[in-house]
Structures are given as structure tokens and as C-alpha cells.
């Protein structure tokens, strides 16, 4: 008689509906691969009346989460409600009751990683979260397992589809940030309050998870630099493309050098011949460099009902296949000796300075940069009538971030400079 594995689903929203659709569509294939009968025994949600557009037995619907958490025959609990509470309470209770957990909740993992992992260890259960970063891209398990023979040197990720869609549209159509953002909201790619995506916080939470798996270090978001894309203009994109041969991407960066780990999120100028430059629209891409394998690129849909559900169901299959697999996330003996503050990061920089076109302006700006040991690689200035506001585009050689921040502060204090200076790091 074939063994049965019972699954409980908490959260019947978009991704939860995708899980049901995936099981409806491919259950024979799934059962063939795992060698057991897979039963979606219970679905719990506050709303069990609204039609989700998928076929589901109404008898398995419930509004009582204890129908899953307290069921002694429930083997795997899928949490898809998002947020911190009550999701954390549900996950911890499930593990305390001996149930394996699958989640797509990157916010919860990024904030409560240590507590979740400790609870899983204590109760001898697994917690899987492939869907938390990169949607349907097979990313976290390959990073943790398939590349385990490598010391990871760097991870660069485009892991927020909303920000990437906006930058792609601005690049291809020359449109302003606000205009494309409004379109993204209309199309459902951006929330009505888009700050979480466009200011880099979603990317930062996912980077925390990538850093755990790549480098064996858990770093809370408040410990590293996070910067969004709202100040990027078509001028910046055009100059990057025509003068520097680059595109602008919101990049998650985690890289190790001489024992110091850099962790940061910010707009970055990426050369057009780099694989990440080809990641467009709502797609995601993660570029990983290992000391043995070299560079590896993972690309695909970073969100969506079925792509994300694909990752959720694959996690369930992984647990069924090896429920006793050790809880090893990232290298256990990390090479990370310290975290490098953003002020100590060294990079080339692009600057857009807005100033009144008058004699001595460039001389004053160049003097400030020189005084702080920042050498100029190139300068471009649009010609306009004297006394008018004009953008000045500069690219520097490698400089330390703390010197660049001080330079920008001094430049903006000049009487001739009329707007905040935009500066973007080059990859």
C-alpha cells in the first residue's frame, strides 16, 4: 500500500490558488516522482467563499487554522499568508507539532531567521523556502546544494520585478519614473504604495536570504545600505547608455574580499555586455561566482501565481523525498571575518550635478573632488546660455564611498548648485 503524505495550506490567495492549480494539473506526475500519494488535506483562509478560479473540494476548506496545526496526520504545512504575524506564530506552532514547513515569506525569514531555524532544529523538522527569492527560478537549492563544493565569492541579483520593469521601460521608452510607476500600478506590477519595491526593501529582504545561503552569515537589514530607484531620471539612463555603454539596474550585492563581506542594495551601472544587463521587465536574474565553478547565471520569472507555486510544490516534493535531510543553510564554517561598512566600499561613480552655468563652477567641483582624492575620468556638460541651470555629468575613477559622500555634501553646499546630486555606483 502506497504511503500517504498530507499537506495543509494556510493562505488561499494568489500563490495559494497557484498551488492548488499545480496539484490539480500535475498530481500524477508529482506522485510518480516522489513515490507516495500526495493529499492536499486542508486549506485554511479567512475567506473561503470567494471563487479563486481553481477547482477545489469545498469540504477541505476551513477558517480554523487549528484544523491544520493540530491535526496529528498533517505532514507538511505551507504558509502563504505573508507578513510577520500571525504567520510567525503559525510556522512555529507547526514545527513544534512536528510538521515540516514550506513558506514563500521572505519578510519573515529575513527578520526571524534565527528563531525559525532554532525551532526547526529543536523539533527535527525541515523548513524550505525556495519561493521566497526569485519566484519560480530554481535558485536557493542550487545555491545551497549544487554549488556546495564552492566557496562563493560574489552574488549579484536583480530580484525585484517591479523596479526592473520600471527601469526597463524608462530605458526603452525614455519615460519619467513617475509615469512608468503609474503604468506599473495599473498593470498590477506595483502596489498602490510602491515604496517597499522601489526603495529597495523587498530586494534587501531577499538579499539577506541569499547571503545566508552563499556565505553562512545572517545580517539584519538595518546593518547594511539600502537605496532605491526613485531619483533615477531618463537623463541618467541616456548618459549611461550612450556614454558609458551601461544600463541601470537595482542590484542586490553580496561579495567577499579579504574576509570582509560587502552587503548592499542600490542602483548600479551594469555594462551592456554583462549577462545581468539582459534581464528586462518583470524578470529576475541572479549572477553567482564560485571559486571552482566560476560564474553561474540563474534567470526566470521572479513572481506570479504559477511560477511561485512551482517553487512551493517543489519544496514539498523535496521534503517528501528526504524528510530527514540535515538543516544546513550555507557554509557552516564561514570565511566572513567582518562586514564592510558602505563607507569603506570602493567603486567608480557616476554623478549628475545640477548647477547654474557660470564661470568657475567646474573648477570648484573639480577642486572638491581633488581635495578628497577622487580623480575624474570624464566630464560632460550640456551647453546652455550663461546663467541657466545645466546638468553636469561626471564619472570618477575608483574612490572610497566615505570620500564620495563628503564630496557630494560639499558640492551641494556650493551656491551655484541648485538640486540634489545624484550619484550611482558602477559594477
Q: What is the CATH number of the domain that holds 82?
A: 3.40.50.720
The answer to whether residues 256 and 192 belong to one domain is: yes
C-alpha to C-alpha distance for 399 and 44, rounded to whole angstroms: 54
The answer to whether residues 119 and 164 belong to one domain is: no
CA-based nearest residue to 318, from 96, 149, 78, 82: 78
pLDDT of residue 342: 95
Residues with a known catalytic role: 206
Which percentage of the chain shows pLDDT scores above 90? 89
Dump pLDDT digits (tens) for 70-91: 999 999 999 999 999 999 999 9
pLDDT of residue 188: 82
Q: What are phi and psi of 285, to 5 degrees?
A: -150, 140
Position 387 pLDDT exceeds 80: no
C-alpha to C-alpha distance for 259 and 241, rounded to whole angstroms: 34
CATH (domain of 152) = 3.30.360.10
Q: Is 93 a domain residue?
A: yes
At residue 1 the predicted structure's pLDDT band, cuts being 50, 70 and 90, is low
pLDDT of residue 137: 94
The answer to whether residues 293 and 354 belong to one domain is: no
Q: Is 268 a domain residue?
A: yes
Burial class (CB in 10 A: 0-12, 13-18, 19+), 51: exposed
The answer to whether residues 148 and 274 belong to one domain is: yes
pLDDT average, residue stretch 110-126: 97
Position 187 pLDDT exceeds 90: no
pLDDT of residue 358: 84
**Is there a contact between 426 and 267 (Cβ–Cβ < 8 Å)?**
no
C-alpha to C-alpha distance for 386 and 174, rounded to whole angstroms: 27
Position 385 pLDDT exceeds 70: no
**Is there a contact between 346 and 401 (Cβ–Cβ < 8 Å)?**
yes
Which percentage of the chain shows pLDDT scores above 70? 99
Dump pLDDT digits (tens) for 345-374: 999 999 999 999 888 888 999 999 999 999
Q: Is 185 a domain residue?
A: yes
Q: Is 323 a domain residue?
A: no
The answer to whether residues 368 and 385 belong to one domain is: yes
Q: Among 278, 312, 340, which residue terminates a domain? A: 340
**Is residue 194 classed as helix, strand or coil in its secondary structure?**
coil
Position 240 pLDDT exceeds 70: yes
Q: Is 382 a domain residue?
A: yes
The answer to whether residues 295 and 351 belong to one domain is: no
The answer to whether residues 181 and 82 belong to one domain is: no
Q: How many domains would you assign to the chain?
A: 3
The answer to whether residues 115 and 206 belong to one domain is: no
The answer to whether residues 122 and 45 belong to one domain is: yes
Q: Is 312 a domain residue?
A: no
The answer to whether residues 188 and 336 belong to one domain is: yes
Which residues have C-beta within 8 Å of that of residue 313, sequence separation ≥ 6?
A: 19, 22, 23, 30
The answer to whether residues 25 and 98 belong to one domain is: yes
Q: Is 83 a domain residue?
A: yes
Q: Among 107, 128, 149, which residue terminates a domain? A: 128
**Is there a contact between 39 and 66 (Cβ–Cβ < 8 Å)?**
no
Position 62 pLDDT exceeds 90: yes
Domain, as residue range, for 196: 140-301+331-340
At residue 98 the predicted structure's pLDDT band, cuts being 50, 70 and 90, is very high
CATH (domain of 347) = 3.30.70.260
**Is residue 55 classed as helix, strand or coil in its secondary structure?**
coil
The answer to whether residues 202 and 256 belong to one domain is: yes
Q: Among 102, 128, 154, which residue terminates a domain? A: 128
Which residues have C-beta within 8 Å of that of residue 21, sequence separation ≥ 6?
A: 54, 305, 306, 309
At residue 193 the predicted structure's pLDDT band, cuts being 50, 70 and 90, is confident
Helix, strand, coil % over all residues of the chain, rounded to 5: 40, 25, 35
What value does the mean pLDDT of the chain take? 94
pLDDT of residue 333: 87
pLDDT of residue 2: 72
Amino acid at each position: 500500500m502506497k504511503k500517504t503524505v498530507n499537506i495543509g495550506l494556510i493562505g488561499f490567495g494568489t500563490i495559494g490558488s497557484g498551488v492548488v492549480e499545480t496539484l490539480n494539473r500535475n498530481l500524477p506526475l508529482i506522485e510518480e516522482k516522489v513515490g507516495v500519494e500526495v493529499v492536499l488535506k486542508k486549506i485554511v483562509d479567512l475567506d473561503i467563499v470567494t471563487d479563486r478560479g481553481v477547482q477545489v473540494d469545498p469540504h477541505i476548506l476551513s477558517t480554523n487554522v487549528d484544523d491544520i496545526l493540530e491535526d496529528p496526520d498533517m505532514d507538511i504545512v505551507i504558509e502563504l499568508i505573508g507578513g510577520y504575524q500571525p504567520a510567525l506564530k503559525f510556522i512555529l506552532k507547526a514545527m513544534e507539532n512536528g510538521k515540516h514547513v514550506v513558506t514563500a515569506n521572505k519578510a519573515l525569514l529575513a527578520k526571524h531567521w534565527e528563531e525559525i531555524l532554532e525551532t526547526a532544529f529543536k523539533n527535527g523538522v525541515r523548513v524550505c523556502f525556495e519561493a521566497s527569492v526569485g519566484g519560480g527560478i530554481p535558485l536557493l537549492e542550487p545555491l545551497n546544494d549544487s554549488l556546495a563544493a564552492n566557496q562563493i565569492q560574489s552574488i549579484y541579483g536583480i530580484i525585484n520585478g517591479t523596479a526592473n520593469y520600471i527601469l526597463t521601460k524608462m530605458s526603452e521608452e525614455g519615460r519619467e519614473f513617475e509615469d512608468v510607476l503609474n503604468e506599473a500600478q495599473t498593470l498590477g506590477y506595483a502596489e498602490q504604495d510602491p515604496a517597499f519595491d522601489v526603495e529597495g526593501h523587498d530586494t534587501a529582504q531577499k538579499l539577506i536570504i541569499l547571503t545566508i545561503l552563499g556565505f553562512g552569515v545572517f545580517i539584519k537589514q538595518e546593518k547594511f545600505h539600502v537605496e532605491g530607484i526613485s531619483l533615477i531620471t531618463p537623463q541618467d539612463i541616456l548618459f549611461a547608455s550612450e556614454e558609458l555603454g551601461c544600463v541601470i539596474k537595482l542590484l542586490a550585492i553580496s561579495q567577499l574580499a579579504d574576509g570582509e563581506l560587502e552587503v548592499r542594495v542600490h542602483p548600479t551601472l551594469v555594462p551592456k555586455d554583462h549577462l545581468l544587463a539582459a534581464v528586462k521587465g518583470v524578470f529576475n536574474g541572479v549572477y553567482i561566482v564560485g571559486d571552482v565553478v566560476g560564474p553561474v547565471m540563474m534567470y526566470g520569472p521572479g513572481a506570479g501565481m504559477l511560477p511561485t507555486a512551482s517553487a512551493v510544490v517543489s519544496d514539498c516534493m523535496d521534503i517528501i523525498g528526504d524528510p530527514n535531510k540535515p538543516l544546513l543553510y550555507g557554509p557552516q564554517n564561514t570565511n566572513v571575518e567582518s562586514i564592510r561598512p558602505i563607507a569603506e566600499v570602493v567603486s567608480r561613480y557616476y554623478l549628475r550635478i545640477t548647477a547654474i552655468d557660470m564661470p568657475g563652477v567646474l573648477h570648484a567641483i573639480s577642486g572638491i573632488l581633488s581635495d578628497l582624492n577622487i580623480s575624474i575620468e570624464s566630464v560632460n556638460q550640456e551647453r546652455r546660455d550663461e546663467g541657466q541651470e545645466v546638468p553636469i555629468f561626471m564619472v570618477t575613477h575608483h574612490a572610497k564611498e566615505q570620500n564620495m559622500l563628503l564630496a557630494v555634501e560639499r558640492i551641494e553646499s556650493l551656491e551655484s548648485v541648485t538640486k540634489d546630486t545624484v550619484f550611482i555606483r558602477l559594477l
